[in-house]
Structure 1
Amino acid sequence: MGKDPKKPRGKMSSYAYFVQTCREEHKKKHPDASVNFSEFSKKCSERWKTMSPKEKGKFEDMAKQDKLRYEREMKNYVPPKGQKKKRFKDPNAPKRPPSAFFLFCADFRPKIKSENPGLSIGDTAKKLGEMWNSSSAEEKQPYEKKAAKLKEKYDKVIIQNDMEVKLVDLIEKCYCLWSMEKSLSLCYRILLLTAQREKWIQDQLLQLMMMMMTMKKKRRKEKKKRKMRMMMMSSSLGDGTCSFVYAIYPYISIHHLEKPKSD
C-alpha cells in the first residue's frame, strides 16, 4: 500500500535543520557545483561537533517547534481504511526501564571510549556485546537484580496510573447517574476496602469526597436562595399564586413572573 499523501510530515531533529541550513548556504555560494553527499555529510558532522551549545540552540528551538507541529497534526490525522492509526505516545508516560545489558553498557561504555577514543558507535556496541556475553552469571547478577527492581517499580506506576484513571471515571459516572449521597457512599465503601492496602487510592477518594461535599454545600445555599426568591415572587403576586409559582418555577425564568406595568 502506497504512502498516504495526507499523512503529516515527520518531525525533524536539530541536526537535520543544521544540515538543511548548510545545504542552503552551499547552494548560494556554489549554485552550479555538484555535491558529493558523503563528503558533505562528513563536513557537516565535524562542524556540528565543534559548535557551542549556544550555536546549536537555534536549531534545537526549530526542532522543538516542529515536534509540537507534528504532535498537533498527528492528533487530528485519520488514516485511510485498511490502515491502523499509529498509537500516539503520551509524553508524560513513565519511561520503560533499561535491561540488565543496557545497565552494563552504561557502566562500561565510558571506559571503552577512554581506552579507544577513535572507536565508532557500532564497534563500541559490538565490543560491549562481546564483554557481556563473556561475563559470568555472578558478574551479570548485580545488573539483572537492578533491572528487575526497576521493572517492578515501572509496572507499579503503570498499574497505578491505569487504576487512577478508571477510579476517577467510575466516580464521575456514579455522580452523573446517582445522587450526591450515593456517590459519597461509594467513595466511603472503597475507602474501607482499600484501608490496609493502597494509600494513593485513599488520597484520591478523599479529594473527590471533599470536592463533592463542597458542591453539596454550594447546592444547599443555591436551593435556599431559590426558595427565598420564590417566596418574594409569590408575595408580590399574591398569596393565592404561591403553590402555582412553586409548581412552574423550574420551567420558567424570573423575568416571566414580573408584575405587568399599569397603564
Structure 2
Amino acid sequence: MVKGDVNKPKGKTSAYAFFVQTCREEQKIKQPDQSVNFAEFSKQCSERWRASTVIDKRRFEDMAKNDKVRYERDMRGYVPPKGMAKSGRRKKDPNAPKRPPSAFFVFSAEFRPTVKQEFPGCSIGETAKKLGIMWGQQTPTQKQPFEEKALRLREKYDKDMAAYPSSCITPSLCL
C-alpha cells in the first residue's frame, strides 16, 4: 500500500544528500561490478564530507538551494486530494485532567531527590537511568506501595475524566 499522495512533489534534497549521490556515482564508475557495503560507504562519505572545505561544499549547497526553489515552486501548484490535507494531532484541552503517573514515576518522584543528593553532577538522563536501575532492583513487595498509589491516582483521574465534558476543546463554549 502506498502511503500518502503519489502526485505530491518530491521533497527537497539536502546538500549532504547531493554529496552522497555524487560519491555513489563516483563509486559506480570506479567499481561498476562490485556491490557496496552500505554501512562502510556511509561512513566513508561522512568522513569525506567532514573533511571537505567550505568551498568544496558550496557546490552541493547551491544544488540544495536550487532544489529548494524547485520544491517550493512545485508545492505552490500542488493541491492535496480531499481527505489528505494536513491532519495533525488533535489539540489537547489545557483544562482537561492530567493523566496520572505510572508506579515507576511515583517511585521516581520520591527517590529523585535522594539520587540527586548522592550524585550531584548527574544529568537528567543519567538520573533517570539510575532510577530505572533502582526500580528494576525492587522486589514486587517493595513496588506494591507505588503501584497502589498509582492505582489510586488512576481511579481519581478516571472519575475526573468521567465528570469532564470530553467534547469541549474550548471550555468557555461548553458552559
Higher relative contact order (Cα pairs below 8 Å, separated by 6+ residues):
2
TM-score, length-scaled by structure 1 = 0.33
Larger Rg: 1
TM-score of the superposition, structure 2-length normalised? Answer: 0.49
Structure with the higher helix share, 1 or 2? 1
